[in-house]
Structure 1
Amino acid sequence: MSLKGLKPTLFRISTKLTLAYSMVLILSSTLIFSFLYFQITHSLQGQERAILESKLDEYANRIEVSGMADFKQFFELLQKYDRDSALMVEVYGNKSEVIFAHEPTPNFNINKDLLISELNKHGEMSFEFSLPEVSSTEAVLVMGRNLKNGERLVVAKSTEGMGQQLRYLQKLFWWSLVPVALIGFLGGLFLSNSTLSPVRDLINSMKKIERGSLSTRVPIGGSDDELEELKLLFNKALDKIENLVNGLKEAFDHLAHDIRTPVTRLRGRAEIALTSEGDVESYREALQSCFENSDKILSFLQVLTDITEAENRSKKLKIEKKFISELVSEIMDLYGMAFEEKEIIVTQKLDSHDWAMVDPRLISRVIANLLDNAHKYTPPGGEVIIETINQTESVILKVTDSGPGIAAEEHSLIWQKLYRSDKSRSEYGMGLGLTFVKAVVEAHDGKVNIKSPVKDGRGTEMEITLQKMA
């Protein structure tokens, strides 16, 4: 199998997690064993030293109290009971000659010259050192004491028994490492599969979405871990994407409808002008109609461009200190006659200190859009209230009409491009006015809000907040 064929298996996260879990378990087991092995080794060595120290004290007291003759007689009797047979006991004179020697059973051999050489290095009362066994890898633990009469007592013991116990422990560890590795692999495989189950759900959902099923959602489990939170966020993102795609489809439908009307009129007037033999005035009217309809199309596209620039903040705002009441008055000069024709009562409650840092041209268009909507949807004889509220750090502009109102479920939809509620279908419009309002106000770091109905199930209040500091 080539490396290319191995990559999908070896480099999967589940495989990495399984191997990582196995390695952690093996390494932790090794560390625990090493610690225990060190403790056991230290304990066994301590026991060996304790035995030798005890015997060294016993033998030294017997020699110094009862003499060497009694000590030799003691070991003659000792052989009958096989007591302390594993110890090598020797007594050396002032000239390093051997006065007494008791050979251990089973016997172990050490280099006597090396032993005497080590003895001569130690002049302190008690001493301790290790020597290697002859023809063996084991060591011999040697303890000695200088007696009062100048003689030296030496007690030695092979560490072969301790070495056998430690080798048995090592063998036991290596054999136990196999099931530990197996348990680590199986446990890691189980944990990685259960941990990555939400990720596989995400992958399967993404594959379905790739095939065109935008309604697919990741199944949610009952846990509260981070992966479940990721699934929830993923589903929320899918909801937004689906809404955006559906909104885009609807927007294109509205766009096609809104552009088709002026284009059809333009084409129709141009066709009539081309197929009929009229006078100059007829051609002039046809060209005037073509100009007006093309101007509507350009205006529609320009508003779309302005919204995009405001949303992306790609167009630099020309910020200056401006009183909102002044901008309202300027726009009302343009809309005053239109309100009078519908006999709409306009009440202005403007604060004389309502200044904010804004781009006057864009905010004027925002106010115009709000007043235009209020004019369209307020019935004849109705009322429109325009109010500014001055605050410490901001200014609030409210435009309230007495129209039919907007349903609560549409409050979040009216800010979308080309969205038009059922109540507004009868009125001409591009469906971009409130989208433009929201984009421009938020480009000024402001906020937009809607309240509807206002009173007795009717009326809409549009509120924008603008900052005093840019």
Structure 2
Amino acid sequence: LGAIILAGVLVGIISSRRLLSPIVRLNQEIDHIIITGDLGRRLDSSGTGDQLDGLINRYNRLLDRVESLIGGMKDTLDAVAHDLRTPLTRLRGHAELALGKGDAEEYEEALATVVEQTDQAGALLSALMDIAEAEQGMLSLEGVSCNLSTLAAEVSDMYELIAEEKGQRLTLEAPNEVLLSGDPVRLRQILGNLVDNALKYSPEGSCIDIRCGFSDETSWAEIIDDGPGVPEEETERVFERLYRGDRSRGSRGLGLGLSMVKALVEAHSGSVEISKVEGRGASFKVVFPRISEENISKA
């Protein structure tokens, strides 16, 4: 009897150690991360599918997410440090120039330039932070029912005077209701950036078409311009932060408009498509998951 009890105790100890082994390893890994800051190590799951295995898998996914967020923050800080260097250098240069002048009119001109450069640096920083937050899934978005046709009409009205001043024309073609769930402010920003981009690269006398529509599963908006189009080798790079391709040479701007578009569209679970339109310029199409009128009435 004593041997049976002893054997049972030994089996219990061995079983307990096997069960506790993953938890011990998990604690060791957590201690390692706390001490070293190394987020690259992962635990191997046993493949049994039990609760401990699930805990290990969730722990690994958590580390993946944390590592991605920290990497995104580092990339953003690197981009901010790099891209603010030029405007800050200009800012200092104009300030030093103002200090070296004694004429009141020259003072005023230099200070006006300083204010302009400060505004540009602030806009650059704000845009970079918005893009980074959107890319990392940290941007706060209001999720309400929106009519893409209404937003497109508002953007068209907003840019109509700018188009007229450049001798350009905006047209809007959209059904009454193109429904989706999203943040109306950010959706308006997406459309505004695309229209602004089209106006910037289209010549005088050209036409920019704004179109909206839907399918069974998607709602979309498309901006077609009369510009030079986007070379095939640049179709991915135009969405990079501060990328300025051949068609951007000589144009003003931060070079962040399309980066912002892509980040905000993807934050809405959508996608951006670029294509060449025969006899025209480029087409930028943003596609979102569609919601139905029944879903809206239930909300």
Residue 272 of structure 2: SS of its match in structure 1? strand
Q: 1:312 is paired with a residue of what secondary structure?
A: coil
Residue 276 of structure 2 is aligned to residue 451 of structure 1: no
Runs of at least 5 residues in structure 1 that lack an aligned partner in the other structure: 1-175
Give me the identity figure in percent.
Answer: 27
1:207-266 Cα distance to aligned partner (Å, 9 max, x none)? 332212222122344444333333333223222222221221110011122322222212
180, 183, 188: which one pairs with 2:7? 183
Paired with 2:233 and 2:3, the residues of 1 have a C-alpha distance of: 71
Q: Which residue pairs with 1:462 in the alignment?
A: 286
Q: TM-score, normalised by structure 1?
A: 0.46
Q: What is the Cα deviation at residue 189 of structure 1?
A: 1.7
Contact 1:403 1:459 in 2 (8 A): no
The alpha-carbon distance between structure 1 residues 371 and 230, as it changes in their structure 2 partners (threshold 3 A), is: farther
**Structure 2 CA distance for partners of 1:459 and 1:364, relative to 1, 3 Å:** closer
Q: C-alpha deviations, 1:162-211, integer Å up to 9, x for none?
A: xxxxxxxxxxxxxx2x3343223211221122223322332333233221
Q: Please give the residue correspondences for 1:325-364 in structure 2 after superposition, counting only pairs within 5 Å.
A: 325-333=152-160, 336=163, 348-354=172-178, 362-364=186-188
Q: Distance in 2 between matches of 1:263 and 1:221?
A: 54
For the residue of structure 1 that corresponds to 2:175, the secondary structure is: coil
Q: Shift of residue 369 of structure 1?
A: 2.0
CA distance in 2, matches of 1:384, 1:229: 53
How is 1:43-442 mapped onto 2 (pairs within 5 angstroms)?
A: 176=1, 178-210=2-34, 211-277=36-102, 279-303=103-127, 311-312=139-140, 323-333=150-160, 336=163, 348-354=172-178, 362-373=186-197, 386-389=210-213, 395-399=219-223, 402-404=229-231, 420=241, 428-429=253-254, 431=256, 434-435=259-260
CA apart distance, 1:431? 4.1
Between the aligned partners of 1:350 and 1:361, the Cα distance in structure 2 is 19
Which residues of structure 2 form unaligned runs of 5+? none
Paired AA for residue 296 in structure 1: Q
Q: TM-score, normalised by structure 2?
A: 0.68
Shift of 1:450: 2.5
Give the letter aligned to residue 244 of structure 1: L
Q: Give the deviation of 1:361 after TM superposition.
A: 5.2
Distance 1:296 1:407, change over 3 A: closer
Whether the 8 Å CA contact 1:451–1:460 is kept in 2: the answer is yes
In 2: Cα distance, 1:242 partner to 1:330 partner: 43
Q: What SS does structure 1 have at the residue aligned with 2:70?
A: helix
Calculate the aligned-residue CA RMSD, in Å.
4.8
Shift of 1:424: 6.0
Contact 1:323 1:356 in 2 (8 A): no
**How many corresponding residue pairs?**
278
Instruction: Report the Cα distance in structure 1 between the residues aligned to 2:67 and 2:100, rounded to whole angstroms.
Output: 48
Q: Report the 3-state secondary structure (helix = DSSP H, G, I; strand = E; otherwise coil) of the residue aligned with 2:41.
A: coil
1:39-80, CA deviations, whole angstroms, 9 ceiling, x for partnerless residues?
xxxxxxxxxxxxxxxxxxxxxxxxxxxxxxxxxxxxxxxxxx
Is the partner of 1:461 in helix, strand or coil?
strand
Larger radius of gyration: 1
**Cα pair distance change 1:431/1:242, threshold 3 Å:** farther
Seen in structure 2, the aligned counterparts of structure 1 residues 316 and 454 have a Cα distance that, compared at 3 Å, is: closer
